[in-house]
Amino acid sequence: MPCVYDGISARLVANQFPITFLSGFSVAAARGYPDRGILSLQELTESARQVTEALARATSSGPPIPLIADGDTGFDGSSAMSLRRTIFSYGAANCAAVMIEDQVFPKRCGHVAGKDVINFESAVKRVKIACAARDEYESKFGAGTGPLILARTDSNAIHGLEDAISRCKAFVTAGADITFLEAPKSLQELQQFCDSVPGPKLANMLEGGATPILSREQLGKIGVTLVAYPLSILGASILGASKILDVIKADGDISSPAMDFNKMKNTVGFQEMDDYENKFN
């Protein structure tokens, strides 16, 4: 599940993967900010709408792949109405699931120093509110319309693995559809999480992060259901842009590292638009 952040990244994954994730880190980076809880719900849902629209247009056949959205702490963390608004806003943006986490607001990237989490009872309450909003959304708009709740804990780095696992188990009891224990430090910690917590589970494979990089086959064998690659596309984009900028700065040959223009046009959707217009000519 490579994580996306805009229309072009969505188009790239639309026909290659069965599901994707809106990375809050990457959305913030694309707007020129670090992942420090700076962006608003409106900015994140605007990006979600761009992504779901791009997925719908780029899909070659069948329904578009589902999008999981980063709901941070509910963009307040203490207000039931703010959490409810977060779930409803992402539902209206056609997101299949929303991740809600137990960090203190404003939150930060789960693999950097300085983060903190709310207490156990408050974390469970936050997930309960999100699940209630999911159920309310479904009661209004029909079965299956409410975004699933992906409940994340960052407690491993602060209170240790036992507390983090206890939180995930409590999240499941509170109604969470999927759990995510952020930043386990070893395969053994991931295994313990999977063995201890029922239901679907997500793992993050972040290059240079706290968790060792494992294959999807390895992760599947220990019980991981979903594997996210949160910064792979963003990192490759920054690296590629930096390389071509170095060539331009040196007055070098830009034709060698550049993407073929016809391929670029097809990737962004020119052929798709041409084919559609030709139906009416």
pLDDT greater at residue 62 or residue 180: 180
Residue 28, pLDDT > 80, answer yes
Cα–Cα distances in Å, from 70 out to 20, 40, 61, 82, 207? 11, 12, 26, 14, 19
247's tokens: 């060539």
- Residue 61 has a pLDDT of 79
129-179 tens-digit pLDDT: 999 999 999 999 999 899 999 999 999 999 999 999 999 999 999 999 999
53's tokens: 């629209």
Residue 23 CB partners (closer than 8 Å, separation 6+): 3, 4, 5, 70, 230, 231, 234
Average pLDDT over residues 247-270: 87
CA end-to-end span of the chain, whole Å?
Answer: 39
Cα–Cα distances in Å, from 127 out to 22, 58, 84, 177? 19, 33, 11, 10
Average pLDDT over residues 97-106: 92
Task: List for the chain the helix, strand, coil content (%; round to 5).
Answer: 50, 10, 40
What's the pLDDT band for 105 if we cut at 50, 70, 90?
confident
Average pLDDT over residues 105-128: 86
Share of the chain above pLDDT 70, in %: 98
- Residue 113 has a pLDDT of 73
Task: Identify the sign of the CA torsion 234, 238, 243, 244.
Answer: positive
Residue 197, pLDDT > 90, answer yes
CA angle 180, 126, 110 (to 5 degrees): 40
CB–CB of 20/4 below 8 Å? yes
Average pLDDT over residues 186-211: 96
